[in-house]
Structure 1
Amino acid sequence: METRLVPYETLSLVQKQQLDTLQVHPEQLAYSGDIYCALNSLLVNPNPGAIKGFALLADDLPVAFLLLKRPPCLPHWADEHSATLHALQVDRHQQGRGFGKACLQALPAAALEAWPQIKGLELSVDADNVAAMGLYLRTGWVDSGEAYKGRIGYERRLALVF
């Protein structure tokens, strides 16, 4: 099965409709949100170019989605020379097949194509989200050692420097 991470705006109408059906497990909603919230933040953003959406296609079928943000949409904890990862979601029917890992492996090239000036990627992950934390660390992200009080509990900051 061939996978590729593509910008949201390059999806066909059918692929966008398929993406609208993406669902995460209910227990993951607190961490990643749902596809409607992610697409809403992408499509109603008043700062064009500050938020970009990407879909992971598996044989042309959208199986995952994520957002990247740049100034002025960066969170307070992020370095201005980075892009931040948000709302990484793998469809619940497709989980366990390596699609989250495929997203993270393809992400640096996609981010640099979108914003050649960035020096790396950053994210914030709930410390209790063991599965996500393990995935990020296994794919080369580095824990900054800093934690802060987030929406749910304490969150860790991770970075991937280019």
Structure 2
Amino acid sequence: METRLVPYETLNALQKQQLDGLEVHPQQLAYSGDIYCALNSLLVNPNPDAIKGFTLLADEIPVAFLLLKRPPCLPHWAHEDSATLHALQVDRRQQGRGFGKACLQALPAVALQAWPQIKALELSVDADNAAAMSVYSAAGWVDSGEAYKGRIGYERRLSLSLIRH
């Protein structure tokens, strides 16, 4: 099965319709939101250079979605020279097949293609979301060691350096 992470705007009409049917597992809704909230925040943003949506295609069928943000849409905890990851969602019917990992592996290249000047990717994850913490850590994201009060509970900030050594 071939997977690739593509900008939302490159999807054809059928793929956009299929993406609208992406379902998040009920237990993950509190963390990632649903596809309607994610697409709404992408499509109503007046600054398309500040927020971009990406879809993971598996054999040309959408199986996952995520958002990346840059200034002026960065959250308060993010560094100005980074892009932040939001609303990573894998269709519940496709979970356990490595699609979340595929998104994270492809993410640095698409982020740098969108914004060559960024130095890192950052995200915020609920401290009690052990599954997400494990996936991000395995993909090379580093916990800053800082916790702050988020909308649900305490959150941790993780980062992935994009600087080539």
TM-score of the pair, normalised by structure 1: 0.99
Deviations 1:123-160 (A, max 9, x none): 00001111111000000000000000001110000000
| Cα distance, 1:47 vs structure 2 | 1.4
Amino acid at match of 1:56: L
Report the counterpart of residue 86 of structure 2 in structure 1: 86
Distance 1:145 1:69 in 2: 22
Match of 1:85, SS? strand
Distance 2:65 2:28 in 1: 14
Whether 1:7 aligns to 2:14 is no
Whether 1:127 aligns to 2:127 is yes
Amino acid at match of 1:114: A
Matched pairs, number = 162
Superposed structure 1 runs of 4+ greater than 2 Å apart: none
| Cα distance, 1:46 vs structure 2 | 1.2
Report the counterpart of residue 112 of structure 2 in structure 1: 112
Distance 1:3 1:61 in 2: 9
Whether 1:60 aligns to 2:60 is yes
Segments of structure 2 that go 5 or more residues without pairing to the other structure are none
Whether 1:42 aligns to 2:52 is no
TM-score of the pair, normalised by structure 2: 0.98
Report the counterpart of residue 155 of structure 1 in structure 2: 155
Match of 1:37, SS? helix
Identity %: 85
Match of 1:108, SS? helix
| Cα distance, 1:92 vs structure 2 | 0.1
Report the counterpart of residue 51 of structure 1 in structure 2: 51
Amino acid at match of 1:24: V
Distance 1:130 1:59 in 2: 30
